[in-house]
Amino acid sequence: MADKLHFELVSPERLLLSESVDMVTVPGKEGDFGVLAGHAPVMATLRPGVINVDDAGKAQQRIFVRGGFAEVTQKGLTILAETAIPLAELDAAKLDQEIANAQDDVTDAKSDDSRQSAQERLDHLKQLRQVI
């Protein structure tokens, strides 16, 4: 039996995953990369994208991440994500409504700070929408 990779995915809200898997594909700033057990140590910055978690005999897990870091050590792969949302939890119609509301918030913003905050939320929602 092949070695398993210990994988942990942590967001500010919670520990999303901590399990042994066959492979994880990570959306790095320099491009996607796959991590298997025994991978050389590396640190990478994440770009918005989807993490694919593969484990034989199980359905692939797909998780949207927005920003953060990936660290591969002898112990395994740890991803510290600014935002991490399993794609299975996303609802396209609900997301479309949130995007419309966020666009209104950008238009209605009374200050530069509130406009910037609303624009960041809108950009985040649009990135989510692109992956589902």
Q: Are residues 40 and 103 in the same domain?
A: no
Distance CA(82)–CA(48), nearest Å, equals 10
Q: What is the pLDDT of residue 89?
A: 82
Q: Are residues 42 and 80 in the same domain?
A: yes
User: pLDDT digits over 83-109, tens only?
Assistant: 888 888 877 787 788 888 889 988 998
Q: Are residues 114 and 66 in the same domain?
A: no
Q: Are residues 69 and 56 in the same domain?
A: yes
Q: Are residues 26 and 80 in the same domain?
A: yes
Q: Are residues 99 and 74 in the same domain?
A: no
Q: Are residues 78 and 22 in the same domain?
A: yes
Q: Which amino acid is at 98?
A: E
- How many structural domains does the chain have? 2
Confirm if 129 and 97 have CB atoms less than 8 A apart. Answer: no
pTM, rounded to two decimals = 0.75
User: pLDDT digits over 14-26, tens only?
Assistant: 899 999 999 999 9
CATH number at residue 84: 2.60.15.10
Strand partners, 20: 6
Q: Are residues 80 and 103 in the same domain?
A: no
User: pLDDT digits over 42-61, tens only?
Assistant: 999 998 889 999 998 888 89
Question: Of the candidates 82, 77, 83, 90, which has an alpha carbon nearest to the alpha carbon of residue 26?
Answer: 77
Q: Are residues 17 and 68 in the same domain?
A: yes
Q: Are residues 44 and 100 in the same domain?
A: no
Query: What is the residue range of 103's domain?
Result: 91-131
Q: Are residues 15 and 48 in the same domain?
A: yes
Pick 117 or 131 by higher pLDDT. 117
Question: Of the candidates 4, 41, 48, which has an alpha carbon nearest to the alpha carbon of residue 24?
Answer: 4
Does residue 123 carry a pLDDT above 80? Answer: yes
